[in-house]
Chain A
């Protein structure tokens, strides 16, 4: 629910409405933050292009699901496959050469990638804004005086499923274990015969796929699809930081918390307060806990 709700009110149904809208928005933040945190945790790269990744996902969703009019599931499959290939391209084409370079140089490279994606989208899709996606079931139902849209419910379910998949992948697969090992200590991982190059490639691919999911979902709730939706990357930043940049679980909770806070600020204080309040929460959390709520400093040997 991205609507403004006007002035302050104590009406419980309005607050319930804000909570529901906040959770739906927060779920999208969570999925963005998750991709962001995944890259940061695994490759030590602060990826400022993640909002553009998501925008790429939204535009590809337009192409495969609207223009090409593919069957929904086939279209989603193609979308995620293309995103995966783009993730591999980002690694093998660019980021691979930056391994071992300074942190700041790499951050600037990600800004460069962001610019390239924006430029390519302008070239291939033009400056005209497109209508938002409408492939998920429309309509809504009432609970306790609040309206719940099916779209929001589906978004919430999809994000929950992604999170569960992520968790199972990292916990129970060999590649997931190797990715965690590289995140812990790249040199030790290499010494054990884990190929950091392969792990990094998989990380970028996974982040891109997550951005594809995020773009597909966000494309359904944004006002219109144009080149300003990359701002979602910046807006999800407080979510990632609040959760702790190194905690996948934290990014989920951070996303939900920031989403709900934003919607309440939006409903009770007015639209212009949304972002200031979200970033204020981030500042407060950083002042009190510099590692975020769930981020941790690495355990060190004594």
Chain B
């Protein structure tokens, strides 16, 4: 069975790429066993946040200027990415990032790369196949040839192979059919409730994320603009205007973000909250 969820605390985090500040004094908390979403448009710093937690900033010449990140009370800042996975953080990267030339089974096994309990890896594989029965007949298929939805299932399954205490999903919904995205979010909720795994979902699809998460943050140009429970955010006029308007990317342009207060009256002309 999975490890119990651990709490993630991001404290006063500032991250820079060269001279450009990507995250500015960000504070985000995922309680143990919690389900938290971080919303924001392109360029808001969401992926930088994931890279900071998983220690992959160095691949993009970014660095943490100040702040701390703790998992279960222990600082994971400055640890190498394999040690962070070992500490219990798994991720579903943006754009899935499967190993395209490897088979589905090999992809899943790569998710268990950090584990030393080799005997238990088969059990995790079996648990994954129970969660995603569609993948069983595809195990020997080359991952790059699967459909987008199937690939995303492999990506989630691969992350779960490390038996994580915290699962981070970066833009799970990107480019997928609404039906598949719904199913994936239901699975996340199931993993969260049954296994107690803490979940952090980075999303542009605000309406769906707010349905499933307990707490939410809105990130804008590297800062936390709004935070609260998912219910509070659903009722927040600015969130409705900017992120729930059409449920799509069209409404999260920079122009809209930079002047939110000047356009308070405009929700009349937006379509209603959509399910997608």
Stretch from A62-70, A224-232, A284-292, A294-302 forming part of the interface with B: A294-302
Contact A190 B111, CB 8 Å, known A184-B102, A299-B144, A301-B95: no
> Residue A194 contacts which of B54, B56, B82, B98 (CB distance < 8 angstroms)?
B82
For A301, give its contact among B82, B86, B96 (CB under 8 Å).
Answer: B96
A161-191 near B? 1/0 per residue, CB < 8 Å:
0000000000000100110110011111111
- Residue among B91, B97, B110, B118 with the most chain A CB within 10 A? B110
Q: Is the CB of B102 within 8 A of A192?
A: no
* Interface flag for B80 (CB, 8 Å): yes
- Known contacts A180-B99, A193-B82, A301-B98; decide if A188 and B61 are in contact (CB<8 Å): no
In angstroms, how far is the closest chain A Cβ from the Cβ of B176?
A: 11
Contact check, B162 vs A192: say whether CB atoms are below 8 A apart: yes
Instruction: Indicate which residue in A177, A186, A187, A300 contacts B110 across the interface (CB closer than 8 Å).
Output: A177
In the complex, how many residue pairs between chain A and chain B have their CB atoms under 8 Å apart?
Answer: 92
- Chain A CB within 8 A of B151 CB: yes
Residues in B neighbouring A189, C-beta threshold 8 A = 99, 110, 113
Question: Is B255 on the interface with A (CB-CB < 8 A)?
Answer: no
B114: Cβ under 8 A from any A Cβ: yes
- Residues of A within 8 Å of B81, CB to CB, are 190-191, 193, 195
> Does B225 interact with chain A (Cβ within 8 Å)?
no
Q: CA separation between A178 and B151, bound complex, in Å?
A: 19
* 0 or 1 for each of B96-117: is its CB under 8 Å from A? (1 = yes): 1111111000100111011000
Contact partner of B56 (CB less than 8 A), chosen from A184, A191, A299, is: A191
B49 at interface, CB cutoff 8 A: no
Q: How far is the CA of A192 from the CA of B56 in the complex (A)?
A: 11
Contacts of B29 in A (CB 8 A): none
- CB within 8 Å of A: which B65-98 residues: 80-82, 84-86, 91, 93, 95-98
Q: Which of A174, A188, A299 contacts B97 (CB 8 A)?
A: A188
Residues 136-156 of B contacting A (Cβ, < 8 Å): 142, 144-145, 148, 151
B63 interface residue per 8 A CB criterion: no
Question: Do B59 and A188 have beta carbons less than 8 Å apart?
Answer: no
Interface residues on B, range: 35 or more
* A178 vs B106: C-alpha distance when bound (angstroms): 9
Instruction: Say yes or no for B158: interface residue by CB 8 A criterion.
Output: yes
CB-CB < 8 A to B151: which residues of A?
Answer: 301
Q: In the complex, what's the smallest C-beta–C-beta distance from A38 to chain B, in angstroms?
A: 15
The answer to whether B102 touches A187, judged by C-beta atoms less than 8 angstroms apart, is no
A100 interfacial contact with B, CB 8 Å: yes
Which of A100, A184, A191 touches B91 (beta carbons < 8 Å)? A191
Q: Which residue of B lies closest to A299 (CB)?
A: B144
Q: Which of A186, A191, A299 has the most chain B CB atoms inside 10 A of its CB?
A: A191
Q: A193-B81, A299-B145 are in contact. Are A188 and B109 (CB under 8 A)?
A: no
Residues of B within 8 A of A299 (CB): 100-101, 142, 144-145
Asked whether B80 lies within 8 Å of A185 as measured between CB atoms, the reply is: no
Question: Within residues 183 to 213 of chain A, which ones have a CB less than 8 A from any CB in chain B?
Answer: 184-195
CA distance A187 to B62 in the complex (A): 14
Given that A186-B59, A192-B114 are known contacts, is A177 also in contact with B106, CB under 8 Å in the complex?
yes
On whether the beta carbons of B61 and A181 are closer than 8 Å, the reply is no
Which residues of chain A come closer than 8 Å to B148, judged between CB atoms? 301-302
Decide: A180 and B102 in contact? CB cutoff 8 A: yes
CB distance from A300 to the nearest CB of B (A): 7
In the complex, which of the residues A180, A186, A192 contacts B85, with contact meaning CB atoms closer than 8 Å?
A: A192
Scoring B residues 35 to 57 as 1 if CB is less than 8 Å from chain A, else 0, what string do you get?
Answer: 00000000000000000001010
- In the complex, chain B residues whose CB is within 8 Å of the CB of A180: 99, 101-102, 106
Q: Once the chains bind, are A298 and B59 in contact (CB under 8 Å)?
A: no
Contact A184 B99 (CB under 8 A): yes
Known: A178-B110, A193-B82, A193-B85. A188 touches B101 (CB 8 A): no
5 additional contacts, CB 8 Å, given A189-B99, A192-B114, A298-B100? A174-B118, A180-B101, A181-B102, A193-B114, A302-B148
29 A-B interface contacts by CB (under 8 A): A100-B59, A174-B109, A174-B113, A174-B118, A180-B106, A181-B102, A184-B99, A184-B101, A185-B98, A185-B99, A185-B100, A187-B97, A188-B98, A189-B99, A189-B110, A190-B59, A192-B110, A193-B81, A193-B82, A193-B84, A193-B113, A193-B162, A194-B110, A194-B113, A299-B100, A300-B100, A301-B144, A301-B151, A302-B148
Residues on A facing B (Cβ under 8 Å):
100, 174, 177-178, 180-181, 184-195, 298-302
